[in-house]
Homo-oligomer: A and B are copies of this chain.
Amino acid sequence: MMRSGIDDHLFAVIMAGGSGTRFWPRSRENRPKQLLNITGSAEGGLLKKTIELIKPIIPVSRIKTVTTLSQADAVRRTVPEISDESIICEPLGKNTAPAIGISTLFVERDDPDAIMVVLPSDHCIEDKKKFHQRIMAGAYQASQGDFLVTIGIPPRGPETGYGYIEADALIDENNMIYAVKSFHEKPDINTARRFINQGNFFWNSGIFIARASTMLREIAEHLPHNYRWLMKIRSSLGKDEEPGVIREAYKEMEAISIDYGVIEKSENVLMVAGDFGWSDVGSWPSAAQYWPMDSDNNAFIGELISLDSSQCIVYSPKKPVALVGVEDLIIVEEDDALLVCKRGRSQDVRKLVEILRSQGRDKIL
């Protein structure tokens, strides 16, 4: 699967900031989603799973994790195989463009010819071998020019929770590489249906590949204000002033996503079709896909006793849960809080967390 010339320059940047409020009460500010084993996987938490996923093609020494200062300790404890130098700490979260910008500086310092594979940490991949093939194909493509190579997922339905990539011509049939016509923000349901019917729309996985130098050039073009601050950080790297400059830059840089701020505006985007069984783990129902299930389609972590109950999602590793005559519920049992949520309302758990925050209930946030 290795292609001569590029594999020594491959780096991974795993985005492990964010708190995953939709997984409350399991996720907390100091116990973010990406460190939790919410899929019940033998490999451990989501971040650890992502490291295991990418390790066969990129050695651990070239895997960087970007997170916020407040979560760095928890990251260190959870994935001790990642060295301290490979953990990039943002003073605060400012969406993905600054995170990827600063990560690019550290990657470029290690290897000016680096090719970066940028990965969120909340995905699950079924066919790992094919994933590796597609990533390597994308990396090869990225190495051949100034391309941002995105990964688009063949859609399984008119999902409204994802952005969409509209593919253009297939330029490499073997490796399923497409030109890209345009990007589309999360659509409403009718638009999503139209996308699906058109057939050339893919879910935006958030995974993309680029040379570090390409990445910086694209940031310079589309986010020049952020770029200037990144250059100040670059000049400070390894010097006494580095932490202070980073802190100042994070006060100043625009909080914007890499998709909206850079990729969607770039002229040099390609897409690899990610036909490797991708699922995001964005809310309880998506995590529960990986859990054991009883004969009434109740997915559970822990012990479940069910009487005339179906289609429930029950996360309660510490105590048995008994259901009588209920359906379509999400039940999450934690030491200091309990959530009972209608299935279909799992996105609103985020709203609930906002309510708790506005009430100053910091102890359970």
Contacts and interface: CB of A to CB of B under 8 A. Distances in A.
A294 to B, nearest CB: 14
Main secondary structure of the interface of A (DSSP, over half): mixed
Interface string A102-131: 000000000000000000000000000000
Given A305-B352, A305-B356, A356-B305, A338 B319 contact: yes
Interface size class of A (residues with CB under 8 A): 35 or more
A364 B351 CA distance: 35
A270 to B, nearest CB: 40
B342 A326 contact: yes
Interface in A289-331: 305, 307-308, 316, 319-326, 329, 331
A352 to B, nearest CB: 5
| Number of identical protomers | 2
A348 interface: yes
A338 B355 contact: no
A336 B322 CA distance: 11
Interface in A332-365: 333-342, 344-345, 348-349, 351-352, 355-356, 359, 361, 364
Interface of A: 24-25, 305, 307-308, 316, 319-326, 329, 331, 333-342, 344-345, 348-349, 351-352, 355-356, 359, 361, 364
- 4 closest A-B pairs by beta carbon, nearest first, are A325-B342, A325-B345, A324-B341, A321-B338
